[in-house]
Chain A
Amino acid sequence: MSEIILETKGLGKSFGAFAANADIDFTVREGELRAVIGPNGAGKTTFFNLLSGVATATAGDIFFEGRRITPLGGPRRVALGIAKAFQTANLYPDETVLQNCRLAALARTQGSFAFEPFRPSRRLDEVDRIAHEALELVDMTALAGARAGDLSHGDKKRVDIAVAIATKPKILLLDEPVAGMSLEEVRKTDALIRGLAKRMTILLIEHDMTMIMGISDSITVLHQGKILAEGTPAEIRANQRVQEAYLGGHTEGHV
């Protein structure tokens, strides 16, 4: 079995009396494609925010490649190799698709801060190479020169993934990568994620059960901020508690 790349122990996040996440013991192995599912309000997005450093944990710890990263902020975690693609594509709308990826590649090559007041910005071969590579991976090279804000919803999300890839992550967090996509776009994104899974560890939140069941190596089910079940797609499908959680008042997402 491969090495554990990401691990949480007793991880929790409370907003006042409300525990959005609690007692989460979670491990992902290198190369795995893990889905995190659960009804709305189960704490999936909070969990991703804790992992990516957008939010700070109020309990427990996070380890990445054996190193405790709990106190590190977002930029430091990206530098270590944790990248996130957003549920709603979060791009630089006025920049070109390529420039969106270039910025991510620049962060990877220069670090979180570099005072380079006299180095012209647009002459960095290494940065260009990484950016083009990322665009190729998501099959968006043809639109490299387009203004990011002008793209369709589906294309924006693919560029968002390319931006995350351009930071050269070891683990990629995908927050609902196919939400709001057409069937054709879902099919393309499904193929894209399968391709990416050969190169890096992937953690994804998704509601599209057909896709999840087909694509995942294993699934973690969150319910009311806690882990309800974990296992292979077949195990999760057969799990009585999971079915109850989904049927208990939530109609969205059928297992």
Chain B
Amino acid sequence: MTVAGELRFYGLTILGLILFPFLIHPIGGYGGLATEVLIVGIGSVGFNLLLGYAGLLSYGQAMFYGVGAYVALLTVSRFFPDHPNFWLALALGVAFVTLMAFVIGMLVVRLYGIYFSLLTLAFAQMFFFIVFKWRDLTQGDDGLQGITVPAMGLGPWSIDLTTPFPALNLGPFGDLSDLHYWYAFAALVTLAVLAFMRALVRSQFGEVLGAIRDNEERSALIGFDPRRYKVAAFVIAGALTGLSGALRGLYDTSIAPDALTVETSGNFVIYTVIGGVKTLFGPLVGTGLIMYLQNVLSAKTDAWRLIEGLIFVAVIVFLPGGILGARRKSARAELAKAVSAKAGP
């Protein structure tokens, strides 16, 4: 972890986050979409700890996303309506989901492969029905709509995140006022989450987690406790997906039970696989690409689902490591070639 490496990571990430909403403008993107991509992308980045780094395919990530959103919105509308607080909503949303992930994690890590996936799916369905049926609290299939989300308190200031940036014409890249403060906040959280994940996968914890993924039997017989590592990964992934959901609820000021469906869980899998498992930025790239297709292409053609499906198939067949995984692999192949050329006759 060199200083140059750190500077490069932070410099390029910050630059990318600043340019992203403007670069997608010429191809039909817009500020709101950019914000949503980052918010959902935070969940995908977290989910990748489970899918990529721990090798566990959870098919129930929607429960953390959805419950995070519900708890955050209920915090301001129902639990503390007299003193609604933005940070408290976010904190309770994440805290509740973290606890949930811990309890569910303890149960699901006992299973392997398809059984693990099916049990996570079953838990997610259970939470879907709880949310759907608990009308008194959740408004059932109507969901929570038009919740008044308080401004974000920051020391002496109070920031309304829906405030647009000042007007500034950027030519083909749109207008600065197309972006709200929400984007800046989402970008800061994204940067923090990426930095956290980057440290995590390079850490002692990440090293052992990868070892357990690669050979659980051996790992147990050199003295690591695979279950505890898997629970930890499950909790971190769950908490970050919950953070993503809580942000989405506060951003949309609404949430419906759709957020907890199998489709949402599947989306996290698709985003992560397309972008590249075991890559830091892959899940974010995959989220951006597919959400762009969902939002922009769906307005132009009814066949956008078909295109999404074709992309998924193409990535699985031609780029099994995902879009960014492929780039990394070719870099490695080039390195290997260079090394063998040097060692050659």
**A→B interface (CB under 8 Å):** 52, 54, 73-75, 78-79, 83-84, 86, 90-95, 103-104, 106-108, 110-122, 124, 163-164, 166-167
Contact = CB atoms under 8 A, between A and B. Distances in A.
The 5 closest A-B pairs by CB, nearest first: A107-B223, A78-B223, A121-B207, A112-B225, A104-B222
Given A103-B207, A115-B205, A167 B225 contact: no
Interface in B184-231: 196, 199-200, 202-208, 211, 214-215, 217-226, 228-229
A104 B232 CA distance: 20
Nearest to B206: A121
B228 A118 contact: no
Contacts of B222: 78, 83, 103-104, 107, 163-164, 166-167
Given A121-B203, A121-B206, A107 B215 contact: no
Nearest to B213: A92
Nearest to B232: A115
Contacts of A52: 221
Q: Is the interface of B mostly helix, strand, loop or mixed?
A: helix
Contacts of B15: none
B221 A74 contact: yes
Contacts, number: 96
Interface string B216-256: 01111111111011001000000000000000000000000
Which of B211, B217, B222, B223 has the most chain A CB atoms closer than 10 A to its own CB? B223
Contacts of B202: 120-121
Which of B206, B219, B224, B228 has the most chain A CB atoms closer than 10 A to its own CB? B224
A142 to B, nearest CB: 16
B225 A75 contact: yes
B1 interface: yes
Nearest to A123: B1
Contacts of B224: 75, 103, 107, 112-113
B214 A106 contact: no
Interface in B174-192: none
Contacts of B229: 113
Contacts of B226: 75
B316 to A, nearest CB: 21
Contact of B219 (A84, A94, A103, A121): A103
A54 B221 CA distance: 8
Contacts of A54: 221
Given A92-B211, A92-B214, A84 B225 contact: no
Given A90-B215, A90-B218, A113 B204 contact: no
A118 B197 CA distance: 10
